[in-house]
């Protein structure tokens, strides 16, 4: 049964308030394709009944499940490749030289989804910068969705996930077969710390980071939310830190405290 | 760029051809390893090879070993595209001399990403 107009409007308003996700008028199909399976799983006859339940009960687990179902989880190992070339060729060599006294590096992958991005960073470090094994390296990975964080912590990936973006020698070195799936080895898995975090709620106190990756996240938010997030990010950067956005994203007209740097044709920024 | 697809399945050769044709490659085909080596001698400037593992007459691993044994093919990039999907298989293929390993099933973006990894110049992947 197609989604009624008022049901779509309710979901749209709810998502904007709860997670600042902006759904265009023509995204009705997206709501149908993401929420119908959830409605069925929860024992409702359709999205209409699911929406009625949401409207008539206080915010609870069901509302969280709707947010999670509507949040895009598109990710892959070494997604878009170039930011990782930038990390390997320029960012880490420079940071390693700059932090040689403290021997500490802090990296944050925000909206990390099922973990491919932070694990890609962990494997990149292990593969290219063995000297960091004796450093205090933190790779923090956060996401809004508890369900997806659980999957990320497990670090079990499908064959399609492993096929996409991972060089074959990395599969050999860092993964074990687990039935039809592939399990990331513990020594890489343990390099990443996963924590829940909603970017539009007040941010927890965090020490500054040397690298922040917030790729393909801002595109889902309205302008005010983007500005708030960027303001929060620049409080967490040192002057020598690097900030990565997605290929189609920019800080232009949102925040003038960032300056774009030319690295491997990626969207990389530093504080002005 | 001259490319070669070595696979005993006509359907798979057609799928691969469809995926890589937009890259402007000249594509030759072979049904097994022996035929693949013949195509290589007919097209000595072949730069890119897609090869299946399990084929009659000569399998993909023996084909890659024979290809690498010829110093003329040292620069040839070889992608194994196979339903073999164990760590042992990946290790054997890399040892034989393949540059990358694609497990079936796969999509065209997976294939293009693997090509980028082995240094085949492609339009930017975004």
Q: Domain range for residue B19?
A: 2-117
**Beta strands per DSSP E along B1-126:** 2-6, 26-30, 46-51, 77-82, 100-103
Question: In this complex, do A159 and B86 lie within 8 Å of one another by their Cβ atoms?
Answer: no
pTM, to two decimals: 0.84
Show residues of chain B in contact with A216, CB under 8 Å.
Answer: none
The whole-number pLDDT of residue A26 equals 79
Which is more confident, B36 or A67?
B36
What is the β-pairing status of strands A237-245 and B77-82?
unpaired
Task: Confirm whether B106 is domain-assigned.
Answer: yes
A247 touches chain B (CB under 8 A): yes
In a domain, B122, yes or no: no
Is B125 domain-assigned?
no
Measured between beta carbons, the chain B residues lying within 8 angstroms of A159 are 85, 103
Sign for the pseudo-dihedral over CA of B58, B108, B87, A84: positive
Coil, strand or helix at A199: coil
Counted domains in chain B: 1
Please name each of the domains of chain A with its CATH number: 5-70 (1.10.155.10), 82-271 (3.40.50.150)
Q: Higher pLDDT residue, A88 or A2?
A: A88
Contacts of A176 in chain B (CB under 8 A): 87
Q: Is residue B96 part of a domain?
A: yes
Q: How far apart, in whole angstroms, are the C-alpha atoms of residue B79 and residue B100?
A: 5
Q: Is residue B126 part of a domain?
A: no
Task: Tell me the ipTM for this assembly.
Answer: 0.88
> Beta-carbon neighbour count of residue B113 at 10 Å?
26
CB contact under 8 A, A163 and B102: yes
Class of residue A202 by CB neighbours under 10 A (exposed 0-12, middle 13-18, buried 19+): exposed
Write the pLDDT tens digit of every residue in B9-25: 999 999 999 999 888 89
A161 touches B: beta carbon within 8 Å = no
The enclosing domain of B94 has a CATH number of 3.40.50.2300
């Amino acid at each position: 049964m197609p989604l009624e107009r008022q049901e779509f409007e309710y979901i749209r308003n709810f998502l904007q308030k709860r997670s600042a996700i902006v759904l265009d008028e023509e995204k009705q199909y997206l709501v149908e394709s993401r929420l119908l399976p959830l409605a069925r799983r929860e024992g409702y006859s359709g999205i209409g009944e699911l929406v009625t339940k949401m409207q008539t009960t206080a915010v609870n687990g069901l509302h969280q499940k709707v947010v999670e179902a509507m949040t895009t989880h598109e990710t892959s190992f070494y997604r878009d490749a170039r930011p990782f070339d930038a990390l390997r060729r320029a960012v880490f060599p420079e940071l390693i030289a700059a932090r040689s006294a403290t021997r500490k590096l802090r990296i944050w992958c925000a909206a990390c989804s099922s973990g491919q991005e932070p694990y890609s960073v962990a494997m990149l470090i292990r593969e290219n910068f063995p000297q960091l094994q004796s450093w205090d390296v933190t790779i923090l990975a956060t996401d809004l969705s508890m369900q997806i964080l659980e999957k990320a912590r497990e670090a079990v990936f499908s064959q399609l996930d492993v096929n996409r973006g991972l060089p074959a020698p990395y599969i050999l070195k860092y993964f074990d077969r687990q039935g039809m799936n592939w399990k990331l080895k513990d020594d890489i898995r343990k390099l990443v710390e996963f924590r829940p975090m909603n970017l539009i709620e007040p941010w927890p106190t965090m020490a500054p980071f040397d690298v922040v990756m917030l790729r393909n996240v801002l595109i889902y938010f309205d302008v005010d939310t983007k500005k708030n997030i960027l303001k929060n990010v620049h409080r967490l950067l040192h002057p020598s830190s690097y900030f990565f956005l997605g290929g189609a994203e920019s800080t232009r007209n949102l925040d003038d405290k960032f300056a774009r740097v030319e690295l491997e044709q990626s969207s990389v920024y530093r504080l002005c | 760029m001259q490319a070669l697809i070595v696979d005993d399945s006509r359907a798979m050769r057609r799928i691969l051809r469809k995926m890589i044709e937009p890259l402007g490659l000249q594509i030759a085909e072979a049904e097994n390893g022996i035929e693949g080596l013949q195509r290589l001698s007919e097209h000595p400037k072949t730069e890119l090879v897609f090869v299946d593992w399990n084929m009659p007459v000569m399998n993909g691993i023996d084909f890659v070993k024979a290809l690498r044994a010829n110093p003329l093919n040292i620069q040839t990039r070889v992608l194994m595209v196979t339903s073999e999907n164990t760590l042992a298989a990946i290790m054997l293929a890399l040892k034989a001399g393949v540059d990358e390993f694609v497990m079936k099933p796969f999509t065209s973006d997976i294939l293009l990403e693997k090509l980028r990894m082995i240094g085949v110049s492609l339009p930017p992947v975004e």
